[in-house]
Structure 1
Amino acid sequence: MQELLAYLQDPELVARFQRRCGLYLMEGSNRGSGRITGEKPREQQEGSWDHQDRNSNYEYKENPAGPVQDCRKPRYEVRNWLLHFLFLLSAGLGHEVFYITCLPCIHWNLDPFLCRRLVNMWALVMYIGQAMKDLLKLPRPPSPPVVKLEMRVDAEYGLPSTHAMAATAISFTLLLSAPSRLQFCFQTGLLIAATLSSMVSLSRLYTGMHSVLDVVCGILITAVLILLTYPWWESFDSFQLYSPLSPIVALSLLLLLSYTYPELDHYSTTRGDTTTILGACAGSSVGYWLNVQLGNTFDLQGSLPVPLPALTAQAVARGAARSLVGIVALVGTRQVVRTLTLDALYSWYKLPKTDKEARKRKEIEVPSKFVTYTAVGLVNTIVVNRVFVLLGLL
């Protein structure tokens, strides 16, 4: 077993997959589409090179007297552009831009019930996955031999792959929840769910951000979580929508989890990203509860399961209009609330607004992100559908 785990964690396994897909690391060569042309070898550049923590690439320390060098840019050659863009698109399905657009679009254009289920499972698996990363502290694959295409998260630890967890959770939660609400071919849904989760998982190998072990563990952990929680989904729905304690539990528990997130000896984006997810879940949970109290949940009407909406030109246009209006509302809410929250926190702690590094401090990062995305969740669940009614889009 130990040999198998070591084999699955071998970075050369990831590098071989990248090369099979047409992605090659260019060391000491001026060739390649990702090569910084005219760049000097590292030992000839001004400044000094130091290693960061063991799960990240080297970084260049700028010499104040010398030119600024962008040496963290990966040097690589792409030989299969179709696969390259396909995997980059798949990797994007695990980022904030996808979550703030796709999940709400399911609420606006399909069924709020399904969106609620997805947000709940997404928050659960992401919190467990992110916390496991920072407790286990297993490194990401080193470069070389792999090519790393996403340097923003390189300071995070590797196991498990939360991209793989989120993609698996969202795909299969939707598959398991939809039959009671919508009429569709289950086999087709299974094929789509398996394809989407597989593409996102493989994209983590292509981008060089995870080992095979990270991805496999992410999928298996999510499968176990779905199996363990599935019998309780209906009971949790009832508590979330009808219990007077629901909004109190949602806000207090998820805020507590944000503040008690595992501490690291260096800054990582995991705490902020996790707080973002928990905040969105808290806002959505309170919003769905309030909709029940207000007497309009915007759920599907009629005898369930209902047929899938017909893809007529008019339906597509209305869906696109709803998505556009909704995304503008959410992005606007995010920008306004984040600015106001940061201004209030900077003022409270008497910090200069020019101190961007202060945003990494726990007392700034956690409340600012939690409040911002709680507001986003509330606007998504309460306000946007009512705007659609006023605009005649429902």
Structure 2
Amino acid sequence: MLKLLKYMHDSELVAKFQRSCGLFPIEEARQNGNCGHLPRQTPLEDRDETGIRKRGGNGHSDNGQQENNSNDKNLEKSYSVGVSGPQYEVRNRLLYFLFRVSAGLGHEVFYITFLPWFHWNLDPFLCRRLVNTWAMVMYIGQALKDVLKLPRPLSPPVVKLEKRVDAEYGLPSTHAMAATAIFFTLLLSASSRVQFQFEVGLLLAVVLSALVCLSRLYTGMHSALDVVCGALISATLILLTYPYWETFDRLQLTSPLSPIVALVLSLFLCYTYPDSDHYTTTRGDTTTILAASAGCSVGYWVNEKLGETFEPKGVLPVPLPALTFGGLAMGSTRFLVGVSALVLTRQMVKTASLFLLCSCYGLSTKDTDSRRRKEIEVPYKFTTYISVGLVNSILVNRLFIILGLL
């Protein structure tokens, strides 16, 4: 078993997957001995700004050797990052864009758009379920990283396509955890709310989760062990909590203590988050997630008290909305208005909270190191994203009413 775990955590396994998908480091790609199936590469200094080799007027390379025509065509189809950035060559553009897009399903821009979309266009109930599960699995996953402290794959031999989270530890993959949790929670929750073919939903959940998991190998950010553990942890958490989802929903919406617990517990978890031996983005990202979740939770409680939940009317499950031009136009307009409101809220509250906190501590808002200090990072991110959560759950639907979009 130990041998299997070491094999799954091996960086070479990730590198092999990348090569099989057509992603090569330039240094390896130009060594005929290591990659005999690849065309011979010219040194980086003999390439132009696009990454394609410079050619002499006689069709020969600078070292005087003639290149094979088929190899030239392959080289012209591949492309690489400039010398100043990560140096790699992509030989399968379809897989490159597929996995880069799939990796984006685990970033903030996806969460701040995908999750609210369900609230604005389909069913706030689904958004609430997704946010609750998302917050739970992400906190556990992020905390496990800083407790276990297992490194990410080594580069070389792995090509790393993302740099922002490279300083974080590897196991488990929170992308894999979030993807598994979100898509399967949506599948289990939507079956009682919306009419759809369960088998089709299951297929979509499996495919989308698998794409996100494989994207973490392709981008070089996680080992196979990180990804498998992330998916298994999420699956286990869903199985353990599923019998209590209805009970939690009822308490979240009706208990007078619900907003207090949501705020106090989230803030407590942010400040007691495990310390790391070096700065990483995990604490800040975890604060963002918990704060957004707490804001949404308070907002849903407020909506319930006001008697305006904006949930579908009639007997459940309801049919899916008809896919008409008018419906698409209305849904797109709601989405754009809603996202604009969230982005505006984020920028305004972030700027104001950073200014106030840094002024109190005599620090500059432009100093990156100052913004990373716990006494600055946690309160400014918590204030910012709890505001985003409140605007999403309370104000956006009322803005739709004012604008005639509901």
Common fold: TM-score over 0.5:
yes
Q: Which residue of 1 aligns with 2:251?
A: 239
User: Which amino acid in 1 is paired with 2:139?
Assistant: Y
Which runs of 5 or more residues in structure 2 are unaligned?
31-39, 49-81
Letter in 1 for 2:203: L
Equivalent residue runs for 1:21-170 within 5 Å: 21-27=21-27, 73-170=85-182
Q: CA deviation at 1:73?
A: 2.3
In the alignment, does 2:6 pair up with 1:6? yes
Distance in 2 (alpha carbons) for counterparts of 1:90 and 1:375: 28
Q: CA deviation at 1:27?
A: 2.1
Q: Which moved more, 1:344-353 or 1:206-215?
A: 344-353
Aligned counterpart in structure 2 of residue 249 of structure 1, from 242, 250, 261: 261
| 1:366 CA drift (Å) | 0.3
1:317 aligned onto 2:337:
no
Post-superposition Cα deviations, 1:270-318, rounded to whole Å, max 9, x if no partner, equal: 0000000000000000000000111100011100010011101100000
Give 1:162-201 correspondences, 5 Å limit. 162-201=174-213
Q: Distance in 2 between matches of 1:19 and 1:206?
A: 9
Taking structure 1 as the reference length, the TM-score comes to: 0.90
Indicate conservation of the 8 Å contact 2:295/2:387, yes or no.
yes
Runs of 4+ in 1 over 6 A off after TM superposition: 28-33, 35-39
Count residues with an aligned counterpart.
363
Quick check: 1:18 aligned with 2:30?
no
Partner SS state of residue 202, structure 1: helix
Question: Per-residue CA shift, 1:96-115, capped at 9, x if unaligned?
Answer: 00000110011101100000
CA 202–350 in structure 1, closer or farther in 2 if over 3 Å, else same: same
Is the CA contact (8 Å cut-off) linking 1:32 and 1:77 kept in structure 2? no
> Per the alignment, do residues 29 and 12 of structure 1 end up closer, same or farther by CA in structure 2, a change over 3 Å counting?
closer
Distance 1:293 1:274 in 2: 29
Give the aligned residue type for 1:116.
Answer: R
Q: 1:28 to 1:174 in 2, by over 3 A?
A: closer
Q: CA deviation at 1:329?
A: 0.2
Residue 331 of structure 1 and its aligned partner are, at CA, apart by: 0.3
Asked if the contact 2:364/2:370 (under 8 Å) is kept, the reply is: no
**CA shift for structure 1 position 238:** 0.4
Cα deviation 1:220-260 (Å, max 9, x = unaligned): 00000000000000000001000000000000000100000
Are residues 198 and 32 of structure 1, via their aligned partners in 2, closer, same or farther at CA, if it must alter by over 3 Å? farther
Deviations 1:73-130 (A, max 9, x none): 2111000011101100000000000000110011101100000000000000000000
- Which among 384, 387, 393 is matched to residue 396 of structure 2? 384
* TM-score of the aligned structures, taking structure 2 as reference length: 0.87
- Unpaired segments ≥5 residues, structure 1: 40-69
Q: CA deviation at 1:28?
A: 7.4
Match for 2:147: what amino acid?
L
Q: Find the residue that maps to 1:77 and give its secondary structure.
A: strand
Tell me how far apart the structure 2 counterparts of residues 342 and 36 of structure 1 sit (CA, whole Å).
44
- Counterpart of 2:85, as a letter, is K
Structure 2 SS opposite 1:151: coil
Q: Please give the per-residue CA displacement for 1:327-372, whole angstroms capped at 9, x wherever unaligned.
A: 0000000000000000110111121333232000000000000110
Q: Is contact 2:365-2:371 (8 Å) kept?
A: no
Deviations 1:137-169 (A, max 9, x none): 000000011100001110000000000000000
Asked whether the equivalents of residues 32 and 78 of structure 1 are also in contact (C-alpha less than 8 Å), the reply is: no
| Amino-acid identity (%) | 69
Residues 32 and 75, structure 1, Cα contact 8 Å, conserved in 2 = no
Q: C-alpha separation between the residues in 1 aligned to 2:198 and 2:251?
A: 28
Distance apart, 1:36 and its partner CA: 8.1
Question: For 1:211, which of 215, 218, 223 is the aligned residue?
Answer: 223
2:239 paired with 1:227: yes
The answer for the alignment partner of 1:291 in structure 2 is: 303
Query: Secondary structure of the residue that 2:191 maps to in structure 1?
Result: helix
- Give the deviation of 1:25 after TM superposition: 1.2
Aligned to 2:37: none
Counterpart-to-counterpart distance in 2, 1:343 and 1:352: 8
Question: Paired residue for 2:71?
Answer: none
For 1:176 and 1:204, locate their aligned partners in 2 and report how far apart those are by CA, in whole Å: 25
Distance in 1 of aligned mates of 2:88 and 2:291: 37
- Kindly state the Cα deviation for residue 29 of structure 1 after the two structures are TM-superposed: 7.5
